[in-house]
Amino acid sequence: EFAGHNDAILIVVIPAMQAPEVASSRALKLARDIDPEGTRTIGVLSKIDQAASDAKTVACVQAILSNKGPRTAAEIEWVALIGQSVAIASAQSGSVGSENSLETAWRAEAESLKSILTTAPQNKLGRIALVDTIAKQIRKRMKVRLPNLLTGLQGKSQVVKDELARLGESMVQSPEGTRAVALELCREFEDKFLAHVTSGE
């Protein structure tokens, strides 16, 4: 139900060892049914560390990350991660209570991935890359949605000005009138934005 909302970002997670069969992945097929254009789907190839010794799998992963994999996989953005337990162990090996131990672990993960996936784009490796990719998707969705919200506000601005004009011309030109218009637009934007976030439409 949640995945059906227009603004829900779909994350397809496929273990690296299954990369050679990514085109037949059930998770990828489900995501394509919900998001045929692939505009809100992100692919994650996980547990790269477990596939490091398998040259064929590593080659498949690098092809997918470089958009040279199967057509169905090439239509979405992919990111590679190592196993979560490895990342957690790296974080815990840092100084306990250190604020940057998680960031250090993420950077170590990216370095580890670079040593395994030597020809893959570096901006697609690790949890930092995943966060950046999700943020990029959110920005794209907001750019699509914001004009619709702002268009609705322009009409509301005129309605408020007309109401103020009925109260007297001086009211429209006064600082109080300007504040009234601004306040009403803020309320309208808040209502529309919250409705948009809640409904996903």
16-46, pLDDT tens digit by residue? 999 889 888 898 898 888 888 888 889 999 9
105 lies in the same domain as 154: no
Kindly report, residue by residue over 102-139, the tens digit of the pLDDT: 778 888 888 889 988 988 998 999 888 999 998 888 88
Q: Answer yes or no: are the C-beta atoms of 71 and 105 closer than 8 Å.
A: no
> Has residue 59 got a pLDDT over 90?
yes
> What pLDDT, on the 0 to 100 scale, is given for residue 44?
92
Same domain, 21 and 69: yes
Same-domain pairing of 88 and 171 = no
**Domain count along the chain:** 2
Residues 156, 110 within the same domain: no
Note whether 132 and 81 are same-domain residues.
Answer: yes
For residues 82 and 51, give the distance between their C-alpha atoms in angstroms, rounded to a whole number: 10
Most confident listed range (81-90, 115-124, 142-151): 115-124
Domain extent at residue 180: 145-199
Q: Are residues 66 and 93 in the same domain?
A: yes
Give the end of a domain, one of 100, 119, 138.
138
Give the model's pLDDT for residue 93.
56
pLDDT reported for residue 56:
93
Smallest CA-to-CA distance from 114 within 80, 90, 69, 89 is with 80
pTM over 0.75: no
* 14 and 63 part of one domain: yes
Q: Are 7 and 54 contained in the same domain?
A: yes
